[in-house]
Structure 1
Amino acid sequence: MQRNAVFVDAGYLYSQSAVSLTGANAARPSLRLDEAELINQLKSLALNLSAGAQLLRIYWYDGAKNGMTAEQLVLADMADVKVRLGSINSAGQQKGVDSLLVTDLIDLARNQAISDAVIVTGDGDMRVAVQIAQSFGVRVHLVGLEPSSASQSQLLRQEADTVHEIPKIDVAKFMKHYGALAAIPAVPVAAKQPVEVSLTFENAVARSIHDILSQVSLDEMERLRGLVASNPSIPAQYDRPILGTCRHLISRDLTDSERRTMRKAAVQFIQGTAD
């Protein structure tokens, strides 16, 4: 049976989406992904590029620090999608992500699990992995986002069996740019304000949650509601700023019990059931 697999370099997809939509680089927190739309587009694209071969699965390669983000949680719960995570160091750089993609591509090719590989990336380091996969009879289709020629290694483009570009009009269907309003600050605004001496733990929790989650766009809040409905936990990208703000407001670390209380209150805020 002929099968295809899709390999998505999330770092490339986000950075090139920003260029495609705005003509310039943009911080990842300012971008919002429509996971369902992207996966549907990738499935359709893979079907066309591989002459009707059946999909094995879509692999999503990304970095994580102290837990999955909201986007990663949504993707991990989707059918036919496997999230593969490397780490993010203190400088914000992804580590180990490329090696996961290389290993999976070579292993699937060697085991004859796929006939076609659709790779969304621009990284020239993928070239050797592409050559090895091709030596096992796999056809490799390189996919970029418009304008892709300047964002992809020329050697990698030459190595691929086919090269395809997702046009801006389709990029805009799965990615939105909200500008600075969508970003969650690394150092919460509350941390810059004087702390009331009489502030109780309960008040600190309420203020921390409000300061962070009130900045979330309506679309993102709707997505968070869907997430906590099936898994009542807070994605790391929001949990850490809320925890940091609360820690500052009470001038100490939270106990394990207090952290659970804070997270329960955050879930209630998202669900719209907070007091």
Structure 2
Amino acid sequence: MQRSAIFVDAGYLFAQGSTALTGNKVSRASLSLSARSVIEELKAFCLQKVQDCTLLRIYWYDGVRSGSAMSADQTAIADMDDIKLRLGFINGQGQQKGVDSLIVTDLIELARQKAISEAVLLSGDEDVRVGVQIAQNYGVRVHLLGIHPARGSQSPTLRQEADTTSEWDKLTVEKFLSLRAAAGSPATPEATVSQAPDPVIEPAPAKVVQSESVLIASVASSFVAGLQEADLQAIEIFWKDNRGVPPEFDGKLLAQTAEKVGRRLEKPEMQELRSRFREEVNRRRSR
């Protein structure tokens, strides 16, 4: 039986997808991914590229900070059928590490075990080329998928090594990736941290006073109003097995509230903010 597998470098998808949408690379924290839509698009591409071939599964490669929970996007992806989430790590500079070696290892092992005859690879890194070469030696055809402009975002030697090359344009990317509406200050690559910056050294109160409680509620409401429908769906999935605010939203939410209050938040204020976040998400989802 002819079988295929799809290998997705999420770092490439977000970075180059944002470039296709806006003309520039945008912080991942500012992007909203529809997990269901991107998986449907990947399956449709694979079916079009390798007809009469059964899909084994989709391998989704991403990074996570040491000691941090998976993001809502990652949880949504992992929760879907036919998906295998494989995680590398993100270092202190916000760089994704270990992902390329995971792709290479899986590609080679599946080829060696004759588990697949066709592979669709969404990536651009030169480091995965050796995996392509060895898989081809085992008889696997490798179809490289890029995002416009693919020639500018993928290694030339990787493109030359692949059996076929294809490209997703902006219209395709818009089906599953979008910019989040600005709910405050722009997101940064460090937005996944769970601690807000300390803008002033003014002491914080032991409990939440009424005026600040109103301000906290206002920030939470504005923040949630800026989330996309795909974000809300991912958050609901995240809450099935986790508590609190997903890490990709938590740091940004804390930072925006600290800026409004004019100082670092005390623990009771953080707890109230996160509780307000949950209330606002539930309110939007119940409409």
Is there any run of 5+ residues in structure 1 with no aligned partner, and where?
none
Q: What SS does the aligned partner of 2:281 have? A: helix
RMSD, aligned α-carbons: 3.3
Is there any run of 5+ residues in structure 2 with no aligned partner, and where?
none
Q: What SS does the aligned partner of 1:114 have? A: coil
Q: 1:171 to 1:194 in 2, by over 3 A?
A: same
Partner in structure 2 of residue 223 of structure 1: 233
Out of 95, 98, 106, which is 2:97 matched to?
95
Check whether the contact 2:101–2:128 (CA below 8 A) recurs between aligned residues: no
Partner in structure 2 of residue 160 of structure 1: 162
Check whether the contact 1:184–1:212 (CA below 8 A) recurs between aligned residues: no
Aligned-partner Cα distance in 2 for 1:198–1:210: 19
Partner in structure 1 of residue 21 of structure 2: 21
Q: CA deviation at 1:190?
A: 7.6
**1:80 is the counterpart of 2:82:** yes
Partner in structure 2 of residue 271 of structure 1: 282
Aligned-partner Cα distance in 2 for 1:138–1:60: 19
Aligned residues: 268
TM-score by length of 1: 0.83
Further displaced range: 221-230 or 182-191: 182-191
Out of 257, 265, 268, which is 1:249 matched to?
265
Matches within 5 A, 1:202-221: 211=219, 214-216=222-224, 217-219=226-228
Check whether the contact 2:29–2:248 (CA below 8 A) recurs between aligned residues: no
Q: Aligned partner of 2:99: which letter? A: V
Check whether the contact 1:228–1:267 (CA below 8 A) recurs between aligned residues: no
Aligned-partner Cα distance in 1 for 2:87–2:214: 32
Aligned-partner Cα distance in 2 for 1:181–1:104: 39
Q: CA deviation at 1:199?
A: 4.4
Q: What SS does the aligned partner of 1:192 have? A: coil
Q: CA deviation at 1:23?
A: 1.4
Identity of aligned residues (%): 43
Partner in structure 2 of residue 170 of structure 1: 172
Partner in structure 1 of residue 117 of structure 2: 115
Check whether the contact 2:125–2:154 (CA below 8 A) recurs between aligned residues: yes
Q: What SS does the aligned partner of 1:8 have? A: strand
Check whether the contact 2:119–2:142 (CA below 8 A) recurs between aligned residues: yes
Aligned-partner Cα distance in 1 for 2:223–2:97: 29
Check whether the contact 2:220–2:277 (CA below 8 A) recurs between aligned residues: no
Q: CA deviation at 1:157?
A: 0.7
Q: What SS does the aligned partner of 2:8 have? A: strand
Partner in structure 1 of residue 30 of structure 2: 30
Aligned-partner Cα distance in 2 for 1:242–1:19: 25
Further displaced range: 235-244 or 10-19: 235-244
Partner in structure 2 of residue 49 of structure 1: 49
Q: 1:177 to 1:266 in 2, by over 3 A?
A: closer
Partner in structure 1 of residue 199 of structure 2: 192
Q: CA deviation at 1:68?
A: 0.8
Q: 1:50 to 1:78 in 2, by over 3 A?
A: same
> Per-residue displacement from partner, 1:68-110 (whole Å, max 9, x unpaired)?
1111111111111111111111111111111111111111111
Q: CA deviation at 1:266?
A: 4.6
Q: 1:206 to 1:83 in 2, by over 3 A?
A: farther
Q: 1:202 to 1:131 in 2, by over 3 A?
A: farther
Aligned-partner Cα distance in 2 for 1:209–1:133: 54
Q: What SS does the aligned partner of 2:81 have? A: coil
> Per-residue displacement from partner, 1:182-239 (whole Å, max 9, x unpaired)?
8546488784267565340697898667646732424155335533563452322234
Q: Aligned partner of 1:227: which letter? A: I
Check whether the contact 2:21–2:174 (CA below 8 A) recurs between aligned residues: yes
Aligned-partner Cα distance in 2 for 1:207–1:224: 26
